[in-house]
């Protein structure tokens, strides 16, 4: 079950539609963590996630007037965020960009606590190819169907299914590899949370 | 696996993004551009990429609330899935082509212009996907994307051939 989005007060959305900057700021406060998390998981880069977050809320500010149903403003904002991330995926600039230096954390297999396991899963997710990462996150966490994912990515539902299967296989392989003597650092160092 | 992914923690956004978003949203934007002639030229012949780019503004800007309808005239309609497959195949082809380290300024400008245009169309495609733009318009956008990528392949290939001759 995908994590539920916070529900914006109807009055805030109405004020935002009328151009109230304070209302825009309230929407940002409410939804920015979910949007940034989504972008970070999809793009595996803090810098790109920051860009996507900014681009999303520029569009929210400019187009909130087109969102007629206050009850689904959160889903509307998230949809904009997903499309901003997809644009990054397709962008040639992203394909040429070298990875952020501080994102290149070597993958460690040692897991001692639930927090270590979560960190291992985060790192494993980051190592997936971008397309597979998009599919697995949109399907398993955001609750999108294969048909929806196919449409978003300009592919077929079958493509989405095969990408998901491969992504799960790869994640399982990464997480089930035995620990080694050299890979003990996750238990002894402060985990780096992006 | 799914439960593990769903249980990953939510992240705090970095500071300063809201202020930058507000500044960007309030910044004056250029008015709508006339792009019909440019889109038609791009769709017509891939080998005239340089001529096509010469008619474009230097910094194409995505219109905020409109989708460009790239209705290429007199072209046979290609099945939607075939367009997607061709686009994916061209991306793979481009990814495998070597990048020439040094090239003429005009060639570099042509390549950069095509890439900017492709990024612009990608933005339109993302908009079209999320706001239920009719299929015919999405097909036209994908057709333009394929045409632009074909042009990019031609220019990159020609540039690489020139490099070989010079060596």
Mapping DSSP onto H, E and C, the string for chain B reads: CHHHHHCCCCCCCCCCHHHHHHHHHHCCCCCCCCCHHHHHHHHHCHHHHHHHHHCCCCCCCCCCCCCCCCCCCCCCCCCHHHHHHHHHHHHHHHHHCCCCCCCCHHHHHHHHHHHHHHHHHHHHHHHHHHCCCCHHHHHHHHHHHHHHHHHHHHHHHHHHHHHHHHC
Distance from CA of A79 to the nearest CA of B (A): 7
Using the Cβ of B164 and the Cβ atoms of chain A, whether some distance falls under 8 Å is answered with: no
Token pair 């075939």 is found at: B82
- What are A5-46's pLDDT values in tens digits? 888 889 999 999 999 999 999 999 999 999 999 999 999 989
Last residue of a domain, one of A54, A87, A104: A104
**Which residue in B5, B10, B84 is closest to A33 by CB distance?**
B10
Find the residue in B nearest to A170 (Cα): B1
CB contact under 8 A, A36 and B14: yes
Using the predicted structure, report yes or no on whether residue B56 has a pLDDT greater than 80: no
CATH (domain of A140): 1.10.10.10
Contacts of B21 in chain A (CB under 8 A): 28, 53-54, 57-58, 61
Question: Which stretch of B15-19, B54-58, B130-134 has the lowest confidence by average pLDDT?
Answer: B54-58
How crowded is residue A6: how many other Cβ atoms within 10 Å of its Cβ? 10
Which residue shows structure tokens 């644009």?
A: A87
In A, which residues are within 8 Å of B87 by CB distance? 154
Chain A touched by B112 (CB under 8 Å): no
Contact A109, A177 (CB under 8 A): yes
Quote the pLDDT of residue B80: 73
Q: Are residues A192 and A131 in the same domain?
A: yes
Residues of B in contact with A50 (CB under 8 A): 13-14, 17
Contact present, A56 and A81 (Cβ < 8 Å): yes
CA atoms lying within 13 Å on the CB side of residue B94: 24
A70 in the same domain as A124? no
Higher pLDDT, B58 or B151: B151
Are A32 and B87 in contact (CB < 8 Å)? no
Same domain for A159 and A134: yes
CA distance A182 to chain B (A): 25
Judge whether B87 is closer than 8 Å to chain A, CB to CB.
yes
- Answer yes or no: are the C-beta atoms of B68 and B124 closer than 8 Å: yes
B54 close to A (CB below 8 A): no
How many other C-beta atoms lie within 10 A of the C-beta of residue B132?
Answer: 8
Pick from A82, A104, A126: which residue ends a domain? A104
Confidence band, pLDDT 50/70/90 cuts, at residue B42: very low
Measured in angstroms, the CA of B45 and the nearest CA of chain A are apart by 22
- The whole-angstrom separation of Cα B22 and Cα B16 is 10
Report residue A143 as tokens: 């609750």
Residues A98 and A149 in one domain: no
Q: What is the mean pLDDT of residues A127-136?
A: 92
Per the prediction, chain B carries an average pLDDT of 68
Q: What is the ipTM of this complex?
A: 0.76
Q: Would you call A61 and B22 a contact, using CB atoms and an 8 Å cutoff? A: yes
Cα separation, B140 vs B75, in Å, equals 10
* Residue predicted with more confidence, A183 or B123: B123
A85 shares its domain with A137: no
- A3 and B123 within 8 Å at the Cβ level: the answer is no
A58 and A92 housed in the same domain: yes
Segment (H or E) for A146: helix A146-153
Chain B CB contacts of A80 under 8 Å are 130
**pTM, entire model:** 0.60
Residues A132 and A46 in one domain: no
Q: How many domains does chain A have?
A: 2
Look up the domain containing A153 and give its range: 106-194
> Are A2 and A95 contained in the same domain?
yes
Mean pLDDT of the region B20-38: 64
- Contacting residues for B96 by C-beta, under 8 A, at least 6 apart: none
Claim to verify: residue A77 and residue A122 sit in the same structural domain: no
- Distance of alpha carbon A56 from alpha carbon A157, whole angstroms: 26
Q: Chain A closest CA to B166's CA: distance in Å?
A: 26
pLDDT in tens, B98-156: 666 566 777 777 887 888 788 778 777 766 665 667 777 888 888 888 888 888 888 88
Choosing from A104, A127, A143, the residue where a domain stops is: A104
Residue range A143-155, pLDDT digits in tens: 999 999 988 888 8
Domain of A94: which CATH number?
A: 1.10.1740.10
Q: Which residues of B touch A151 (CB under 8 A)?
A: 129
A94 and A16 within one domain: yes
Q: What is the DSSP letter of A5?
A: P
pLDDT in tens, A45-75: 898 899 999 999 999 999 998 887 878 899 9
Are A51 and A1 part of one and the same domain? yes
What is the pLDDT confidence band of residue B29, given thresholds at 50, 70 and 90?
Answer: low
**Same-domain check for residues A113 and A89:** no
């Amino acid at each position: 079950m995908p994590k539920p989005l916070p529900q914006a007060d109807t009055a805030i959305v109405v004020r935002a539609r009328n151009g109230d900057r304070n209302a825009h700021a309230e929407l940002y406060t409410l939804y920015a963590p979910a949007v940034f998390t989504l972008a970070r998981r999809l793009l595996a880069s803090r810098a790109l996630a920051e860009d996507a977050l900014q681009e999303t809320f520029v569009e929210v500010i400019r187009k909130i007037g087109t969102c007629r149903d206050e009850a689904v403003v959160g889903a509307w904002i998230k949809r904009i965020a997903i499309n901003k991330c997809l644009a990054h995926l397709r962008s040639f600039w992203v394909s040429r960009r070298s990875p952020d230096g501080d994102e290149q954390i070597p993958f460690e297999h040692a897991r001692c606590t639930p927090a270590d396991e979560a960190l291992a899963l985060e790192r494993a997710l980051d190592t997936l190819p971008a397309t597979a990462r998009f599919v697995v996150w949109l399907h398993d966490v955001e609750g999108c169907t294969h048909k929806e994912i196919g449409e978003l990515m300009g592919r077929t539902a079958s493509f989405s299914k095969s990408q998901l299967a491969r992504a799960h296989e790869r994640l399982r392989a990464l997480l089930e590899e035995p620990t080694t003597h050299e890979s003990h650092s996750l238990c002894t160092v402060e985990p780096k949370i992006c | 696996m799914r439960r593990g992914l769903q249980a990953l923690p939510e992240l705090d956004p970095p500071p300063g993004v809201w202020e930058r978003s507000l500044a960007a949203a309030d910044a004056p934007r250029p008015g709508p551009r006339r792009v019909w002639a440019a889109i038609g030229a791009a769709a017509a012949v891939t080998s005239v990429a340089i001529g096509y780019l010469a008619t474009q503004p230097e910094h194409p800007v995505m219109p905020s609330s409109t989708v460009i309808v790239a209705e290429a005239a007199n072209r046979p309609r290609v099945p939607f899935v075939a367009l997607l497959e061709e686009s994916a195949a061209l991306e793979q082809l481009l990814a495998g082509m070597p990048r020439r380290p040094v090239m003429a300024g005009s060639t570099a400008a042509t390549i950069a212009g095509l890439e900017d245009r492709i990024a612009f169309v990608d933005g339109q495609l993302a908009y079209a996907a999320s706001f239920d733009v009719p299929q015919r318009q999405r097909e036209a956008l994908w057709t333009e994307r394929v045409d632009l990528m074909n042009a990019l392949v031609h220019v990159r290939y020609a540039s690489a051939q020139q490099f070989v001759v010079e060596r």
